[in-house]
Amino acid sequence: MLTATHAAIYAAAAAGGVLAPLGPAAAGARELARLSWVAHQALRDDLVAVIGARGGQAPPALPAYRIPATPVSVAASLALLAQIEDACAAAAHDATAVLGADARELAIDALSGAAVRAQRARLAAGLPPATATRALPGAPRAPRAPARALARNPGIGIIT
């Protein structure tokens, strides 16, 4: 979940950077990118604190991440924001299966926040509400082996 959060911070900043010079026409999308960036920074800080409180060492963010879409316009930036929020919601959903009660609450809050931000991005892009992902995006469609929930990062890869 922390890996997905690190990547989301990077991707939201990339989207916001593209939107910044586009002026008033991009103001709404730029605000969505800023809200995503701030939310993921807060989540990152909370996750690092939980890991540290348990005697662990949180992995640092990488210098760059491969993002699933290139934010070259308002529409592409909104699509990217929706994709990264979907990926984070899936990672948070998977994390709920392996976390204790105290940290599970953090994951559930992250899941609901990401789902709401993803839907806002889709609606701002003019997409119909039905284009939203499933209510539990990380839920398996068929039985599968357990995922490594804290490291799962669908749709966002590391640049090597």
**Which tens digit of pLDDT belongs to each residue from 65-88?**
998 888 899 999 999 999 999 999
pTM of the prediction?
Answer: 0.81
CA distances from 60 to 4, 35, 48, 67 (A): 12, 22, 9, 18
Sequence-distant (≥ 6) Cβ neighbours of residue 15 within 8 angstroms: 29, 33, 36, 71, 77, 78, 80, 81
> What is the overall mean pLDDT for the chain?
84
> Residue 36 in contact with residue 22, Cβ under 8 Å?
no
Instruction: Please give the CATH number for the structural domain made up of 2-139.
Output: 1.20.1260.10
**Which tens digit of pLDDT belongs to each residue from 17-48?**
999 999 999 999 999 999 999 999 999 999 99
* 65-86 core/surface letters (b: 16 or more CB in 10 A; e: else): bebbbebeebebbbbbbbbbbb
Q: What is the CA radius of gyration of the chain?
A: 15
